[in-house]
Structure 1
Amino acid sequence: MLNRAIIMGRLVADPELRQTPNGVSVITFTVAVDRNYSRDRERQTDFIDVVAWRQTAEFVSKYFSKGKMIIVEGSIQTRSYEDRNGNKRRAVEVVADNVQFGESKSAGGSQQGYTAPAPTQAPPEPAVSYASGDVGDFSEMSSDSDDLPF
């Protein structure tokens, strides 16, 4: 199964950093994302709720404000709750794994971002790079070999 979402849009309001009772940073914000449109239709916008945790939340709090272009990569999460009037509600939101600036430096941003570390995942083994001249397991062949197919 696959649950990945990538959105790019502008922040609707300044995000506010909060702390859970255990001291974990969390931030929620809404991203306005324009839909693709045809020439005969008016442009429509979706307002997508996003939640980020820990270092990603602190990164968003420090570098983003209302109107800034943001790129969010994460997964879609749904949850149910009861509102103040006792009505059952359902919320759909993107849980951010990776957040990046969506504007160039000249527009006030940078192309850097913050990617949350993968939980309990060992770093991958470095790949052998043959392009850099590391021939490790290969041996040199003589150029006058009759075994060459060409």
Structure 2
Amino acid sequence: MAGVNKVILLGRLGSDPEVRNLPSGGKVVTFSIATSENYNNKNGEKVEQTEWHRIELWEGLANIAEQYLKKGDMAYVEGRIRTEKWTDKEGIERNTVKIRGNALQLVGGRGAGNDGATESSSTYSGNSGGGYAPKSAPIPMPPPAEMAGSGSDDLPF
């Protein structure tokens, strides 16, 4: 039986990424992203429902998250749902649902503030070779004055 396990999230980090260095020399970064949904309930009252998602990034993506992400930043994550089961110290079986990220896009860039405006973005993706490099670089935009031209004489028609 075949299936698809793909998650796409765009949200704000609830805390700075937590970094764990593994004995093997690898690295894992975990953080939570909040996504919100607004709707009107049966009484016509506006309701905001927030969901928290635990994100886990490995190796190269972990390095990028450690270097560039901080609490309040907007991030786009693609990955798959992973359910982990374990037994705690009291012998109780526990479950945790995580998103194992395989692509990360930094939204807003440094200095863009937390107002949701996108100054720039960089997309990173894991690959089988272990290298993590930008999939696409931000396209620099000229200042608005250069885009507008000097008047209607600049129009090609």
Change (3 A) 1:12 1:92: same
The correspondence for 1:79, drawn from 74, 84, 94, is: 84
Alpha-carbon distance between aligned partners in 2 of 1:95 and 1:49, rounded to the nearest angstrom: 9
Is the aligned partner of 1:112 residue 2:122? yes
Contact 2:38 2:47 in 1 (8 A): no
Q: Which amino acid aligns with 2:99?
A: V
Gaps of 5+ in 2: 114-118, 131-157
Give deviations 1:12-61, integer Å, cap 9, x for gaps: 11102211111111111111111242363410100100100000011000
Count of aligned pairs between the two proteins: 120
Q: Which amino acid aligns with 1:53?
A: W
Gaps of 5+ in 1: 121-150
Contact 2:38 2:46 in 1 (8 A): no
Is the aligned partner of 1:52 residue 2:32? no
Alpha-carbon distance between aligned partners in 1 of 2:87 and 2:129, rounded to the nearest angstrom: 31
Give deviations 1:90-128, integer Å, cap 9, x for gaps: 0111000001112256615631121111469xxxxxxxx
Change (3 A) 1:110 1:18: farther
Alpha-carbon distance between aligned partners in 1 of 2:39 and 2:121, rounded to the nearest angstrom: 27
User: Which segments of structure 1 move beyond 6 Å, counting only runs of 4 or more?
Assistant: none
Alpha-carbon distance between aligned partners in 1 of 2:38 and 2:94, rounded to the nearest angstrom: 29
Question: What RMSD in Å do the two structures reach over aligned CA positions?
Answer: 2.0
Structure with max Cα Rg: 1
**Which residue of the partner structure matches residue 17 of structure 1?**
19
Alpha-carbon distance between aligned partners in 2 of 1:20 and 1:105, rounded to the nearest angstrom: 29
